[in-house]
Each structure stands twice: as structure tokens, then as C-alpha cells.
């Protein structure tokens, strides 16, 4: 799986980098990390901030054939080196219903 395929097929945009693919119970799960340069303090604009932990968001996206596809995206918890502000970074990810204009399957897997 290439990063550019993730960009073009699943609408994954700047701010993320591809980590790995998992195959779980018939699902395909693409794991995405947030790039260091996206860790910018929303308060004072300084970056990159220090990482203080993370959680993971799971987003169902368009299926590959009959296999459901889930984006597993990192949400880093950060603290600004400059002003000490604590924040989470969650670059925008597409919803399945918004990525279906290009002739790919339009029915989200259920
Ligand atoms: Zn700051």
C-alpha cells in the first residue's frame, strides 16, 4: 500500500503518514500517524510541540472489493514548547460519504 494510493483512493491528506496495514477479522485497517510538522500549537503557532501521549481514531471508509476498510488515525496529545498549551492534533480525514464522487463504490459497508 502506497501513501499516494491512500491519498487518492481514500482522501487521506497532508498531515498524516502511512504506518502499516492490518488485516483483522476480514477488515483492512490502515494505520496513520500524524507528521511531526503538523504538531503546531493552535494558540501561538509554534511547532513542533512535544508529544505527551496519543489516542487512536477509527474511521470507516470506502471498502476494497467486499472488504471493509478502516482508517486508524493517530491523535497525538501535545504540549507547546513555547507557551505550554496542551492540545490534540487531528488533521481532517474524509468521511466515507464524501469520498464517493469519483466512481468508486458508493455504499459504505455495513
Ligand atoms: Zn503555544
Asked whether residue 110 is domain-assigned, the answer is no
Share of the chain above pLDDT 70, in %: 84
Asked whether residue 39 is domain-assigned, the answer is yes
Structural domain range at position 52: 3-98
- Distance between Cα 51 and ligand 1 center (Å): 13
Q: What is the mean pLDDT of residues 53-66?
A: 92
With a cut of 50, say whether residue 56 has pLDDT above it: yes
- Distance between Cα 79 and ligand 1 center (Å): 8
- Distance between Cα 99 and ligand 1 center (Å): 34
pTM above 0.85, yes or no: no
C-alpha 69/C-alpha 1 separation (Å) is 13
Asked whether residue 103 is domain-assigned, the answer is no
**35 DSSP assignment:** P
Domain count, the chain: 1
- Distance between Cα 21 and ligand 1 center (Å): 34
Helix (H, G, I), strand (E, B) or coil at 4: helix
Asked whether residue 88 is domain-assigned, the answer is yes
C-alpha 72/C-alpha 80 separation (Å) is 25
Say if residues 99 and 83 touch (Cβ distance below 8 Å): no
Amino acid at each position: 500500500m502506497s501513501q499516494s494510493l491512500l491519498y487518492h483512493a481514500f482522501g487521506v491528506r497532508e498531515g498524516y503518514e502511512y504506518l502499516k496495514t492490518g488485516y483483522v477479522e476480514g477488515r483492512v485497517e490502515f494505520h496513520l500517524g500524524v507528521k511531526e510538522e503538523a504538531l503546531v500549537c493552535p494558540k501561538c503557532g509554534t511547532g513542533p510541540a512535544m508529544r505527551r501521549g496519543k489516542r487512536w481514531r477509527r474511521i470507516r471508509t470506502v471498502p476494497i472489493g467486499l472488504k471493509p476498510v478502516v482508517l486508524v488515525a493517530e491523535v497525538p496529545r501535545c504540549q507547546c514548547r513555547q507557551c505550554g498549551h496542551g492540545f490534540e492534533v487531528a488533521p481532517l480525514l474524509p468521511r466515507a460519504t464524501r469520498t464517493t464522487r469519483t466512481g468508486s463504490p458508493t455504499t459504505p459497508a455495513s
